[in-house]
Amino acid sequence: MASLTARATLHASARASASPRSGGVGTARNAGPHGLHPGSRRRHRHDATAAPGASASAVDLAAELRADFPILEQDIPETGKRLVYLDSAASSQKPSAVIDAHRDYYMMINANVHRGVHYLSGKATDAYEEARVKVAKFVNAKSDREIVFTRNASEAINLVAYTWGMANLGPGDEVVVSVLEHHSNLVPWQLVCEKTGATLRHVGLKKDNSGIDVDELSAVMAEGRVKLVATAHVSNVLGCELDVSAVATLAKKHGAKVLLDACQSVPHMPVDVQTLGVDWIVASGHKMCGPTGIGFLWGTAEALESMPPWMGGGEMIQDVYMDRSTYAPPPARFEAGTPAIGEAIALGRACDYLTEVGMDRVHSFEKEIGGILYDKLSAVNDVTIYGPTPAQGRASLAAFNVAGLHANDVCTLLDQAGVATRSGHHCTQPLHRYLGVPATARASLYLYNTPGEVDALVESLTDTISFFREINGM
């Protein structure tokens, strides 16, 4: 592998060799209010509106929505390269409507929610609870009372672990996860199993690494000790989609509950919690066009009612005495203290935005552009992509490696070309050990990415590989 100590030389060489691409992404909004110099938008940019051989439908949605995301209309200061943002699996960009909703809360109705009788408190409370209704509708919950606002998906999983888990797990019980889990859906169960005496087990992948081995899961569950299956709906590395129906059917057969990490599914496809057959799902606002600092837990009414309080404080109580307290019903029971009001309101607006676009349309677009990404990356020599093929079904992301190169070095040079990807283990160290690699590079797309940006990635990756081969004499 190329030495990381050569990074300063690589940076300098990349800056010196960087050549601006021509083309356009359409007319950009005036970026002055967003802190970007308006004139910078007319300089060098990747051709982000079209690519040779790309079908019109793969261009249309991104071209239609592009102007809603002002952050994308900027150049990298050091090189003048137009930003190509391919890191949406880590965090999506935010449309102006969501940014405006967050700002408007603080400018127009900033006040604490619930209990206040004054005008601003009433307006803030209405907007906050309306956001809960919007999230509930977005995932087709039966009631907004099934939506609990949390700081993020990690907190939502910990909430279930330290309420339901602590109350229902004990020696002889088992929790089952898979080898592809994000650390957020693994570490909480390690901690709770250690505290309760329950056993944490995991299942592996299919032989082609295209998803978890449901047959192995079935065999584990047939032993009769599993109380909970906690797994990802869509892998943030492999891009594979879980057969939720099969897992939910197994769980029901053996009397187990299911928690679904939906961080990589809720932003990208229609998710209907009434048909999934699971007990809880968790999702993060910042991955679905919303702000950071807000996520949500959906649970069935039965599951939420069975969970005792976790954090104590204001809002989550019914009556408080010096020696005891009684507690509010869900969701208030799990929302102690002043919540992230502005963030919840902005998340509600993000749900509006995605609903207006249409989640069927988003999913169709991402399948198409995800296929373009896979096909074009696969055509680059020495590149290995992990996970299923598009024909098997995969999300619009690709975790990959280049033979003989470290993912960090690859992504560093891509960044110098203006292409933002992510390198490392993506909070899935066990999965990377399973795959036998220390790290991967990952390009992940969303509804604002274009075929032209996929071309920019492939062109820059090809240049990067050539650069390393030259300096290493390969």
Residues 174/201, Cβ–Cβ less than 8 Å: yes
Reply yes or no on whether 427 is catalytic: yes
Choosing from 193, 289, 351, 427, the catalytic residue is 427
Among 410, 350, 355, 346, residue whose Cα is nearest residue 380: 410
The residues carrying an active-site annotation are 427
